[in-house]
């Protein structure tokens, strides 16, 4: 189905999926805690491998959020371009958003699963780590879509992975695995839908 398909326009969920854009600049308008809570509830409703819900959400505002932006800016200087530029841009989005939600994997699924599955340890570790990452990615996408449906703007910042150890320390999640940092606010710029590659080159039908 193409987003210009009439079914897309008639369906609220599909409309939200279509409307979601990465927005990196925010107005100063506050996002109330009640709305942040709804985003977190939506994220927490995501499917998860073995229903382990092996994610944690860390909500930052004010000084903590500025501290993360500062850390990101300072560390950006140690990287060559384009990583340094992307880190500085990320710091700007973090500082400018009224709220920031970081997502970390707990590692619980890796720990429990590796004990439970009697397969080679390294294979079990890879499997459950991948399952944790995929589960948390589903939670992040739920969060982004919930935000869009409420008129809020977000951007999924993966670039902080480059400084993940300090970020996790800063978030007081040293045993977790870095997943994403998501600034949340009201958009100060409209999002532009990027060029999408046609489905024709993404999909193959077998036995049709």
Ligand X SMILES: Cc1cc2nc3c(=O)[nH]c(=O)nc-3n(C[C@H](O)[C@H](O)[C@H](O)COP(=O)(O)O)c2cc1C
Figure out which of the listed residues 6, 80, 194, 200 binds ligand X, where binding follows CB under 6 A: 194
Residue 106: CB atoms within 10 Å: 18
The pattern of x and - marking residues 123 through 162 that bind ligand X according to CB under 6 A reads --------------------------------xxxxx---
The count of residues interacting with ligand X (CB under 6 A) is: 13
Contact between 90 and ligand X (CB under 6 A)? yes
Question: Each residue of 118-134: b (16+ CB within 10 Å) or e?
Answer: eeeeeebbebbbebbee
Query: Nearest to residue 180, comparing CAs of 193, 166, 194, 167?
Result: 167
Nearest to ligand X of 109, 144 (CB atom): 144
Least separation in angstroms between CB 54 and ligand X: 18
Figure out which of the listed residues 16, 22, 27, 84 binds ligand X, where binding follows CB under 6 A: 22
Figure out which of the listed residues 3, 107, 187, 191 binds ligand X, where binding follows CB under 6 A: 191
Contact between 56 and ligand X (CB under 6 A)? no
Q: Which residue is nearest to ligand X (CB)?
A: 158
Give the N- to C-terminal CA distance of the chain in Å, as an integer.
17
Question: Each residue of 51-84: b (16+ CB within 10 Å) or e?
Answer: ebbbbbbbbbeeeebeebbebbbebbeebeeeeb
Note the residues at the interface with ligand X (CB under 6 A). 21-22, 24, 86, 89-90, 155-159, 191, 194
């Amino acid at each position: 189905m193409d987003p210009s398909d009439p079914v897309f326009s008639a369906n609220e969920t599909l409309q939200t999926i279509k409307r979601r854009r990465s927005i990196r600049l925010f107005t100063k308008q506050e996002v109330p805690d009640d709305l942040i809570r709804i985003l977190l509830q939506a994220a927490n409703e995501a499917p998860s491998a073995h229903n382990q819900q092996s994610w944690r959400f860390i909500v930052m505002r004010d000084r903590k959020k500025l501290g993360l932006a500062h850390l990101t800016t300072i560390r950006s200087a140690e990287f060559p371009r384009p990583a340094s530029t992307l880190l500085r841009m990320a710091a700007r989005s973090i500082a400018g958003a009224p709220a920031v939600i970081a997502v970390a994997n707990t590692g619980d699924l890796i720990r429990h699963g590796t004990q439970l599955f009697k397969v080679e340890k390294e294979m079990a570790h890879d499997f459950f780590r991948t399952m944790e990452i995929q589960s948390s990615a589903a939670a992040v996408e739920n969060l982004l879509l919930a935000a869009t449906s409420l008129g809020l703007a977000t951007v999924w910042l993966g670039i902080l992975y480059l400084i993940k150890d300090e970020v996790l320390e800063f978030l007081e999640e040293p045993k977790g695995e870095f997943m994403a940092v998501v600034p949340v606010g009201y958009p100060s710029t409209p999002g532009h839908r990027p060029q999408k590659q046609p489905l024709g080159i993404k999909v193959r039908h077998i036995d049709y």
